[in-house]
Homo-oligomer: A and B are copies of this chain.
Amino acid sequence: MNEMRHDWLSDRWVIFAPNRTTRPDDYDRTSHIEPESHLRCPFCRGSESETPQASLTLPGTDWESTRAARRRGRSQPPTDWLVRVVPNKFPAVSPSASREDGSANNPIHDTGSLFVRQSTAGAHEVIIESPQHVTSITSLSHEHTQLVFEAYQQRLAFWRARPEIKYAVVFKNYGADAGATIVHSHSQLICTSFVPSDVLRIQKRLLAFRETNQNCYVCSILDQELHEGSRIVAQSSHFVALCPFASRFPYSVSVIPRHHRPHFDECAAEEIQDLSRIAQSVLKAVETEHPHCAYNFVLQTSPFDQESPDAFHWRLKIIPRLSKIAGFEWSSDCFINTVLPEVAAQALRQRIPGTASLPTSVPVAPIGTARHTR
């Protein structure tokens, strides 16, 4: 069974998931770029029985029409889904250990021992983004991508309502170098019964900033970034995409909502529609600037169980995997980035129609008003 262990020195939990060594791998590990084949893809339409039962399908499965068709003797595919969420067959966090009553999952601390471990509690889901064998979310239509983000929202809202779950993150691993093992376009959700120490630290810093400055740190940064302009990649009514000032990775982009909002699942339909467009624009720009580049994206939304739930400002971080993490980084947690964010932003802007000539100083509209600059 999976377990978590506490690394006391760095004050971090590590999840041990030996079950994940047996998961299938589409990639030829000697090339790291091209998938071997997509024969027998478990995520394609028609292979639904190869995954656990779906926890969500979008649009909702029309069982009535399926049954009616069967009654009329017509053969019809059993589902008509476009986005399908299933439990991960090789979960990092075992759902079996989650406690439905929300009681604390106490660490196992052997008497007199410095070794602290506990069973994992949470869930690990896969968001299958299309019934067709597409390999990149940028191949989907805006409307289809919107459904993917809606699936994120519904699952995040589901897990947030469960008292034993304290944290959840949605992420995508695209390409072998980013940790993907299946090429069919998909993302993942992991939720846990604890808030990871780094997330907790960020949350505390955001709270302290707000108490001192009567404003959200991310809102303040957004104002300054829009004023300077040099790191802006794209803008839309509800979002700003930018290369962060102290980014750890070359060409990393954060998509940040203009309006302060802690939880992603509280976004309005109009915002999700807007997000699907700007996220696709940025990802296409990354794919054009760096063909075959692996990337991760991460949807950082507020931890669930906080004394001050409003402190967080959710964002989508896109992390192209162009550099290798090496000895210095592992020893110091201090990253070396070879590309200034101003250089990366300029290159990416030139890949997005209508943004190349973005002025270095962009006028700032007050938070809370819709701004159309694209």
Contact = CB atoms under 8 A, between A and B. Distances in A.
A201 B10 contact: yes
A331 interface: yes
A332 interface: yes
A11 B201 CA distance: 9
Contacts of A327: 169, 171-173, 178-179, 188, 296-298, 319
Contacts of A141: none
B224 A14 contact: no
B298 A333 contact: no
Contacts of A328: 92, 169, 171, 188, 190
> Could you tell me the dominant secondary structure of chain A's interface residues?
mixed
Given A30-B33, A327-B171, A328-B190, A343 B18 contact: yes
A345 to B, nearest CB: 14
Interface residues of A, number: 81
Interface stretch (A44-52, A59-67, A72-80, A243-251): A243-251
A361 interface: no
Nearest to A329: B179
Contacts of A173: 324, 326-327
A14 B339 contact: no
Contacts of A334: 12-15, 192, 196, 198
A351 to B, nearest CB: 19
A245 to B, nearest CB: 5
A132 interface: no
A34 to B, nearest CB: 9
Contacts of A337: 14-17
Contacts of A109: none
Interface of A: 5-21, 30-33, 92, 113-115, 167, 169, 171-173, 176-180, 188, 190, 192, 196-199, 201-202, 205-206, 217-218, 220-221, 224, 244-248, 296-300, 317, 319, 323-328, 330-340, 343
